[in-house]
Structure 1
Amino acid sequence: MRGDEVRALVLPQVDSSDIRQEVEVVRGDISDPPSLESAVKGVQRIYHLAARTGPWGMDEEYWKINVSGLMNLLHMAYTHNIERIVHVSSTTVYGHHLNALVTEDHCYHAEDNPYSRSKIAGERILANLVKDLKVPVVTVRPGWIYGPGDNASFGRLVARIERGRAFLFGSGQNIVPIVYVRDVAKSLVLAGDAGKQSIGQAYTIVNDQRVTQFEYFNAIAQALHTRSVVHKIPLAALIALGRSAEKLWTLAGRRSASPPP
């Protein structure tokens, strides 16, 4: 334990009872600039993890948080002379590279979903602010995060495998960029501690080993003592199905929720 004092910005409607008592909780919303004042004032470093995630939903929902919300936070940080901002992005900014080795120098390539597009837009805004205003930002790009405490992407995947409802996307032999949640947390601390040469840099955070989608899904199945994941859906068919589901969801008037998994 380093003894750092930690302040967490938590949405007004979110239960914070599972946050450790020594963490100061401040209520606010990244899309509401005035509410950020009390969260930012007096701090040395900001670890920016707020995001609208998942591949389903209206573009404006993602832009509100992942682009406009990021700008709100950056301008507030600039006003208060924050010494370091660690921005959590995602490997989704590289697009789909099923078996290739991808480095931080790889160009942006948006996947066909609003999450990927908004994360790229956010990184481009960061690059401009670092250049023009000298905002001290370091970016980390985690891969597929797995580990305890997740009720979003990894949690939903585990639930589907446990219920026997999971399937492989395409052949299942593509490499998946997995990373353990504790390693992501350590990377954020390192990004905050790194020297000035790290300002404006981006770092990909994934495990060293090359794991296929088939191996990953079935390691989870084995740990759960449930049946193996063997059923496959062609990637093109899956994308077409997803687009149709999103259109139907929108036509049904569901603007703030995504199609069920």
Structure 2
Amino acid sequence: MFHLAGMMGVWRPLADYRQVNVTGTLNLYQAAQQAGVRRFVHTSSHTVYGLGHGHFLSESAALRPDPDPYSLSKAEADRLVRRLQLTSQMETVIIRPGTFFGPGDHLHFGRMAQKLQAGRGLVLGRGNNMLPFCYVTDVAQGFILAGYHHNAPGNTYNITNDHPLTQLQMLNLIADAVGGSRPQLHLPFAPVYYGSMVAENVLAPLTRRKPIVTRLGAMMFGTDNRHSIEKARRELGFHPQVELPAGILQAAQWFNTGGMGKAAIAASSHMAAIAALRL
């Protein structure tokens, strides 16, 4: 069983994120045990380590998520599954994927492409920080290996691309691919980050709207984030097949043919999950 359901990218309180990402995981794990499922593959996230460490992180790194509902709830679910597997007969594997993108990605690639095509792109800091992106088919490869490789049970794996692009490299490549303008405006990271804190803690409760910039977004794009996949290479034979520039071209083809005008596959799934858990 592959557990890929979760809440992300929506402006909801921590309690809602916990209800889906933590309680939902517990319910599904227990249901899988009762149904006699042989192997349970849980989707965690690279954000459980926290952002901005500036060096390659392995699976043994401490979980120190930033104060964001998504990161906090994913770290809690990660710890929960690691505890559950200690007393479970069900084979259990945890995957911590990078931020994946590709055709159909409204949340990350689509938004970046829209801004760059409109000439509204900007760079946080100098732009030489590494971004934790990987192409979607490489993540799928990691899941297949986690689901079927004999070495996987009882283990946790980073699944991402360990040859990341810098922020500026990625933005420039996307701009070129969608016929936009390469970003020229550089904003210092610190004022943007602290401004996002004010927006989240002061303005958002008043307006009841998601801030234009969140702390998670500022940290994701403005800090250096890299993750080691040596364990997955060694134990599972995992190897990224799609170089990031090639992946950007494939995602851009989807975008350039009107992809953002089509409904996202999981556009309504977040609130449905909350409603189901509240029954």
Q: Same fold (TM over 0.5)?
A: yes
Deviation at 1:172, TM superposition (A): 1.4
1:175 match: 130
What is the SS of the residue equivalent to 1:85? strand
Q: How does 1:27-38 map to 2 (within 5 A)?
A: none
Counterpart of 2:163 in structure 1 is 209
Aligned equivalent of 1:228: 182
Q: Tell me if the contact between 2:118 and 2:181 (Cα under 8 Å) persists in the aligned partners.
A: no
Partner of 1:11: none
Q: Partners in 2 of 1:179 and 1:112 — Cα distance?
A: 24
> May I ask how many residue pairs the two structures share in their alignment?
212
Give the counterpart of 1:80 among 17, 23, 35: 35
2:195 maps to 1:244: no
Q: 2:25 aligns with which of 70, 90, 112?
A: 70
Q: Sort the Cα spacing of 1:258 and 1:103 in 2 relative to 1 into closer, same or farther, 3 A.
A: same
Post-superposition offset of 1:71: 0.8
The code of the aligned residue for 1:57 comes to R
- Bigger fraction of residues in helix: 2
Tell whether 2:147 aligns with 1:147: no
Q: For 1:55-204, what aligned pairs fall within 5 Å after superposition?
A: 56-195=11-150, 197-204=151-158
Q: What runs of 5+ residues in structure 1 fail to find an aligned partner?
A: 1-45
> SS where residue 50 of structure 1 aligns?
coil
SS in 1 for 2:119: coil
Query: Secondary structure of the equivalent of 2:84?
Result: helix
Give the distance between the partners of 1:83 and 1:129, measured in 2 at CA. Answer: 15
For residue 91 of structure 1, report the CA deviation from its aligned partner: 0.8
Q: What SS does the aligned partner of 2:58 have?
A: coil
CA distance in 1, matches of 2:62, 2:172: 32
Aligned-residue CA RMSD (Å): 1.9
**What residue in structure 2 maps to residue 24 of structure 1?**
none
Q: What is the letter of the counterpart of residue 258 of structure 1?
A: K
* CA displacement at 1:78 relative to structure 2: 1.1
Q: Which amino acid in the other structure matches residue 74 of structure 1?
A: Y
With 100-109 and 232-241 compared, the bigger mean Cα shift is at 232-241
Percent same amino acid at aligned positions?
A: 34
Say whether the 8 Å CA contact 1:169–1:232 is kept in structure 2. yes
**2:57 match: secondary structure:** coil
Contact 2:121 2:182 (C-alpha < 8 Å) held by counterparts: no
Q: TM-score normalized by structure 1? A: 0.75
Structure 1's consecutive aligned runs of 4 or more residues displaced over 6 angstroms after TM superposition are none
SS at match of 1:198: coil
Q: Which amino acid aligns with 1:65?
A: V
Unmatched runs of 5 consecutive residues or more in structure 2: 214-279
